[in-house]
Amino acid sequence: METQEIQRLKSENERLQVLLHFAQNLQAQLELDKLLYTTMEEVARILNADRCTVFLLDEEKQELWSLVAMGIEKGKEIRFPADKGIAGHVAMTGEILNIPDAYRDSRFNPEIDRKTGYRTRNMLTMPMSDKNEAIIGVFQVLNKEDGAFSHEDEELLSAISKIAATAIENSLLYEEQVESLNSFVETLSATLDTRDYITAGHSQRVTLYATTICQQMKMDKDCCEQIRYAGLLHDIGKLGVPESVLFKAGKLTDEEYAVIKNHPAVTRQILESIHFPRKLKLVPDIASTHHEKINGKGYPDGLTIDQIPLGGRVLALADVFDALTSRRQYRDREPIEKVWSIIEKDAGETFDGKVVDVFLKIPLKRIIEILEYDQREKLNPEELAPFKYLPFQWIIEIKRKDPETLTEDEQSLLKTFDRYYWRQY
């Protein structure tokens, strides 16, 4: 009798430990993708199964969706109608389906196995409900290692699914807030850009150049994100410049020029009133130093290289590159080799030489995509494919060569580049 009781208590103990450990592991992930990966890995391990998928119910679209957890497609979204297949059945009815032999069950669709090459033996599919008992998703666990899923497995998964549901709800609330700030900043940036039709799309493109430089530098995700926000907001201080000055066609008076030169200081003032999350703390600093020069001759503060955050030095280059390669009412784009000569001349004075070097290594395809961002649906991916493997530096070198010395391939690629650059497509 007592030995039995000890056995029962021990296994109950183990179950509780597993659940507690699971709860703590989930709690540590607030970002939805990481939370889903952790959940799927942990559940497969706990239930001694080959794999686990968590499908979430998208109420609006009436779809179930998930993320691929492993392999080269990791992070890819899977989506299908919310009433399709076994997961759909469970999502709609709230039933638990424990199928010990998939190929003998008429509800199982062997088509998927045929496509993926996977062999499903058994499966346990369970609804996941929030605290109001509304179904928010489905757990699907495949191929229990020895035999099929037991009744104890069902009970364990049911407890797990309650813990996971709360963690997922928290994560969704968090992501909602993140996305809300993000879309606010993107919308505002685009709106302010269109206020000044001359520079429509400027902030967007500067941000794309800047984040591309960051990626080329292999900067970590958070730093990159910070520079992205700073890029989107770098000109917000222009809200402090009257349109009569901003759009003035003729020469500016000294006072008007002073107002314009003050815009990075206004950017700082506006952005410093915002309580950015910790990982975006440098946004005001980065955004407001995009007109500083590393030799200390920039504005508004005349900072020197060590005083300008890396992000500010990245934006400075992105800002000028976009200005020189944008069309104005009174002129077309500057020729790309001329653009680069101007920048090269200023490397080590205005621009950080290291940032300039990184820019040269960006794939030319990416540069063309940003240059032509407002025409992106017209770009021909096939035609642009070769530029994926050529760095930006290549086009500058080609432009500086004697045209007579170019190979046929080089001539053909140059022609393509020029066609896009001068918008003859």
Nearer to a copy of itself, 188 or 379 (CB): 188
Least CB distance from residue 238 to a copy of itself, whole Å?
Answer: 11
Number of neighbours of residue 146 by Cβ within 10 angstroms = 5
Confirm if 229 and 222 have CB atoms less than 8 A apart.
Answer: no
Strand partners, 58: 63
CB of 124 to a copy of itself, least distance (A): 22
| Site membership for a copy of itself, residue 242 (CB under 8 A) | yes
Residue 283: CB minimum distance to a copy of itself, A: 10
Dist. CA 312–CA 94, nearest whole Å: 53
Q: Least distance (Å) from a copy of itself to the CB of residue 295?
A: 32
- Tell me the two tokens of residue 11: 């296994």
Apex CA 409: angle with CA 408 and CA 413, to 5°?
120
For a copy of itself, the closer CB: 178 or 385: 178
Binding a copy of itself (rule: CB under 8 A), the pick from 30, 148, 323, 414 is 30
> Total number of residues binding a copy of itself (CB under 8 A)?
54
Residue with tokens 């070769």: 386
CB of 215: closest distance to a copy of itself in angstroms? 24
Q: Which of 151, 251, 275, 376 binds a copy of itself (CB under 8 A)?
A: 275
If the CB atoms of residues 28 and 258 are measured against a copy of itself, the closer one turns out to be: 28
Residues 6+ apart with CB under 8 A from 14: none
Contact letters (x/-) for a copy of itself, 139-178, by CB under 8 A? Answer: -----------------------xx--xx--x--xx-xxx
Q: Where in 179-198 is the site for a copy of itself (CB under 8 A)?
A: 179-188, 190-192, 195
Residue 111 in contact with a copy of itself, rule: CB under 8 A: no
- 24 in contact with a copy of itself (CB under 8 A): yes
User: Whole-angstrom Cα distance, residue 371 to residue 378?
Assistant: 13
Q: Using CB under 8 A, which residues numbered 194 to 233 contact a copy of itself?
A: 195
**Cα 134 to chain centroid, rounded:** 30
Q: Which is nearer to a copy of itself, 239 or 406 (CB)?
A: 239
Q: Which of 106, 116, 132, 273 binds a copy of itself (CB under 8 A)?
A: 273
d(CA 157, CA 140): 10
Q: How, if at all, do strands 97-99 and 77-81 pair?
A: unpaired
- CA–CA gap between residue 66 and residue 18 (Å, rounded): 24
SS in 3 state form for 35-61?
Answer: HHHHHHHHHHHHCCEEEEEEEEEECCC
CA 267/CA 305 separation, integer angstroms: 20
Encoded tokens for 34 = 């990481």
Q: Which residues bind a copy of itself (CB under 8 A)?
A: 2-3, 5-6, 9-10, 12-13, 16-17, 19-20, 23-24, 27-28, 30, 131, 162-163, 166-167, 170, 173-174, 176-188, 190-192, 195, 239, 242-244, 270, 273-278, 280
